[in-house]
Amino acid sequence: MTAWSIESINWSRFDKNLVDPVLVRLVKAAALVEYNGATYTDYLCNVFAGDADFQAKAKVWGREEVQHGQALAEWAKLADPDFDFQHAFDRFTSGYSVPVDVEASVRGSRSGELIARCMVETGTSSFYTAMSKASKEPVLAEIAHLIAADEFRHYKLFYDTLKSYLLKEQIGRLGRAKAAVSRIRELADDELAYAYYASNVPESVPYDRTACSNAYLGRIYPHYDPEIIRRSNAMILKAVGLTPHGRLNSMLTAGAYRFVSYRAHQLAEAA
């Protein structure tokens, strides 16, 4: 279990004058997705039926994700006292749901599921690292730093489990790469976009997935630096079974940094 709690955060350091309204919007949306982590625990326990050891670890993991949501929600309420987290969460879960009642992974195999989970933790660890670096407000910087450390540890949990499942399931690099790419392409899927909508856009405005997705990504992309991208690429390559810190990573990092910078500029202009 994580070494921190909501109570151990030094809330007295909160400084309203240093709050960045752009980050507030991201924090509100992220709080909803994280707090919904308990749903994924049920899904993982169904997918890994019979693996009591991993199910126990998945339950701890789920509690940590919920704590991420609680910490972010508490901070968002300090930054914006009008923020009604429970109402936003109810909006989110009434419009977006995860199919929990499954007997097998939607990724085709347990290894595929674990690779997808590695991609999610890669995404969240880089997101919170970027947020921690971007926040001048000290409490948010602290929370994002703590969460990022958890997300790196979550990656390790799924990666270590993946290694043991690959011995049984024999999925080659191509199959692993396909599982990784399909999950990365879902980055702009409904979950983040709908969370942004439920926490930032009035209910009277109809949901526009592309607009909400662009609003979310456009606010975090400017904070991704080459160091964050390089580490993310190493995590992706490792999960796929390729050398994490080689020339391929350098090429991918250069390309991804150009893409992220271009998209950040493009989305800022559109906004």
Sites of contact with Fe ion (CB under 5 A):
34, 65, 68, 121, 151, 154
Q: Which two tokens stand for residue 76?
A: 């968002």
Q: Which two tokens stand for residue 80?
A: 């914006």
**Shortest Å, Cβ 132 to Fe ion:** 13
CA gyration radius, the chain: 18
Nearer to Fe ion, 142 or 151 (CB): 151
Which helix (DSSP H) or strand (DSSP E) does residue 42 occupy?
helix 37-47
- The Cα–Cα gap between 77 and 88 comes to 12
Nearer to Fe ion, 125 or 214 (CB): 125
Beta carbons of 214 and 267 less than 8 angstroms apart: yes
- The Cα–Cα gap between 264 and 96 comes to 26
**Shortest Å, Cβ 154 to Fe ion:** 4
**Shortest Å, Cβ 121 to Fe ion:** 5
Nearer to Fe ion, 234 or 267 (CB): 234
Q: Which two tokens stand for residue 126?
A: 């880089």
**Shortest Å, Cβ 33 to Fe ion:** 8
Nearer to Fe ion, 137 or 151 (CB): 151
Q: Which two tokens stand for residue 111?
A: 């290894």
Nearer to Fe ion, 34 or 137 (CB): 34
**Shortest Å, Cβ 20 to Fe ion:** 21
Half-sphere exposure of residue 35: CA atoms within 13 angstroms, side-chain side: 21
Q: Which two tokens stand for residue 171?
A: 């999925």
Nearer to Fe ion, 3 or 205 (CB): 3
DSSP state of 17: G
Q: Rounded to 5 degrees, what are φ and ψ at 169? A: -95, -15
Which helix (DSSP H) or strand (DSSP E) does residue 32 occupy?
helix 21-35
**Shortest Å, Cβ 89 to Fe ion:** 15
- The Cα–Cα gap between 229 and 256 comes to 7
**Shortest Å, Cβ 209 to Fe ion:** 22
- The Cα–Cα gap between 225 and 235 comes to 16
Nearer to Fe ion, 148 or 166 (CB): 148
